[in-house]
Amino acid sequence: MNNRIDAKYQEMAKISKALAHPTRMFIIDKLNENEHCVCELTDLIGADISTVSKHLSVLKNAGIISAEKRSNMVYYTLRCSCVLNIFSCVMNVIQSNFESAKQIIE
């Protein structure tokens, strides 16, 4: 691969890796509904603040979410709602796999 093509796939892999965790998928889902601060997400997820902050950092570094500091709080928003299309595609694959498995059993 040449450098231009390699860079493209490196960026695609970075975003895919950022999406490849159940907690980060949950965060994206919640940010699609409304902006949230770390403390709200911590309560929703049920994890400690350092863990949630790490997940937010991964998503932010991938360009999926953005952060805005207001006073002493940082609020996170979904930058690219098109990532939800990936969720829809994944659900279609799950449904298709379920239907295929069901046909094999029957």
**Residues 15-49: tens digit of each pLDDT:** 999 999 999 999 999 999 999 999 999 999 999 99
Q: Which residue has the higher pLDDT, 60 or 106?
A: 60
CA dist 21 and 26 (Å) reads: 9
Task: Judge whether 98 lies within some domain.
Answer: no
CATH number at 62 reads 1.10.10.10
Task: Judge whether 102 lies within some domain.
Answer: no
Residue 80 has pLDDT above 80, yes or no: yes
Nearest to 90 by CA among 33, 9, 16, 35: 16
Task: Judge whether 86 lies within some domain.
Answer: no
Q: What is the pLDDT of residue 41?
A: 97
**104 pLDDT band (50/70/90 cuts)?**
low
Task: Judge whether 73 lies within some domain.
Answer: yes
What is the count of structural domains for the chain? 1
Residue range of the domain that includes 7: 3-80
Task: Judge whether 70 lies within some domain.
Answer: yes
Task: Judge whether 87 lies within some domain.
Answer: no
Is residue 52 within 8 Å of residue 42, measured between CB atoms? yes
Task: Judge whether 40 lies within some domain.
Answer: yes
Task: Judge whether 93 lies within some domain.
Answer: no
From the number of C-beta atoms within 10 Å of its C-beta (0-12, 13-18, 19+), residue 27 rates as buried
